[in-house]
Structure formats: C-alpha cells, structure tokens
Amino acid sequence: MLFDGKDPTQRSLLVFNAAKTVVEQKSFEWVREHKPHFVFNTVVPSVNLGHIVAVEHIGFSSSMAMVESVCRGISVATGFLPSQWYVNVEDTALLHLAALTLDEVRNERLLAYAEPYSWNKILEILGRRYPKRKPKLASIDEPTADKGEVDNNRSTEILRKMGRPGFRGLEETLVSSMKSVSEAEALPNKPRSLVDDMMAMAEA
C-alpha cells in the first residue's frame, strides 16, 4: 500500500506498520549490541481474527472490525486489510505465552501467520455458515490475492508444545469471530467499531 497523500486513514495505517517494523528491528539491534541478561523474543502477528473477550467494553477496535463491517454490508474498510495472512487471536495469545515461558524459545521471532485469506473466501464461509445473513453481506471486488510465502513451521512447532495441533483454520476462526458479532448485536448499546471511526475520519 502506498500513501496517495489524500486519505488520512491510509496514512495512519502505513505509519503504524512502519513504526512496528522499526521498533522490532531496533530492539533486536540493541540486544545484539548490549547482550542483556534477559531473553528477548517477539511475536509478529498477521491479521488477528477471532473471539473478542468482553466485546461490550472493547468493541471492534482492531482488525475484527473488518469482519463485523462486512456483516453490515460495508465493504470499504476491507481495502485497508486486503487479501493477506490471518491468525486466530487465541493462537497469537498462546505464542506470546510460549515466548514468555518456554526456556527453548530464546531471542526468536515467532511469526503468528496461519494461512492466507481472501475476502471472497470469508464471504463464502459466512454465507454458508450463516445463510440468514447472506443478503446483508457486503459485495467485495477483490482483484488480487496474496501469493506471498511465510515460513511458519517454528510457530507451528511451538503451538504443538503448548497443546495445540497447529494454527486454527479460517472457518473455525470466523465462527469464533461471529460469536462476538452476535454478542455485540444483542447489547442494548452496540459498541462502536473502528470502521465507523475510519469512515468518519475519511469524511472529515
């Protein structure tokens, strides 16, 4: 994604990604130079999807907002998270726990990347699993798919040591995601979504 100089939400995403990249690079650089007594690990997640704990308080304040928005027929936000890799947030949490507690994980980058997704695949799964929602699902023009390769073998190995057979699949992850969507819809005051904030910013 390149900043076109017009959309402030696009710029904020690029700055966020760049900042996270530089922080991790500089952190490992500092560790190599100063050789501290502690172990330094990082977990690098792709797009986190899945169940939101306490959605009534947290709302849809991160990448899960994109799934929630397509259920409302809003497709514009998917452009900010085009076809790429996803991870179930529970697997991300397990990798963080492993990075903190497993003695064998020392000065490593654990890639929390399950597999590639596409929005058309997400819509297909949602329409099949939740047929009553199908008429409301957004229509998404997705000309490209992510063909990038990520070596997630080490992270898969670590998940097995933490009691999982590997990364959770996309369909299982979306079912967990929809649990949060349904919980939010049942609240008397529906929590605000990041997508709503992004759209308001773009219109300002």
Residues spanned by CATH 3.40.50.720 within the chain?
A: 40-203
The model's pLDDT over 117-126, given as tens digits with 9 standing for 90+, comes to 999 899 999 9
Interatomic CA distance for residues 114 and 88, integer angstroms: 8
Rg (CA), the chain: 18
- Name the region of 76 (left: φ>0; alpha: ψ -120 to 50; beta: rest): alpha
Query: Is the CB of residue 173 less than 8 Å from the CB of residue 46?
Result: no
3-state secondary structure of 111: strand
* Length in residues, the chain: 204
The model's pLDDT over 6-63, given as tens digits with 9 standing for 90+, comes to 655 567 677 877 898 899 999 999 999 999 999 999 999 999 999 999 999 999 999 9
Interatomic CA distance for residues 130 and 140, integer angstroms: 18
CATH class of the region 40-203: alpha beta
Alpha-carbon torsion (134, 140, 141, 145), positive or negative: negative
For the entire predicted model, the pTM comes to: 0.88
pLDDT for res 43: 98
Interatomic CA distance for residues 51 and 181, integer angstroms: 9
CA 136 from chain centre, in angstroms, equals 23
With a cut of 60, say whether residue 1 has pLDDT above it. no
3-state secondary structure of 156: helix
With a cut of 60, say whether residue 5 has pLDDT above it. no
As a whole-number percent, the residues of the chain with pLDDT over 70 amount to 91
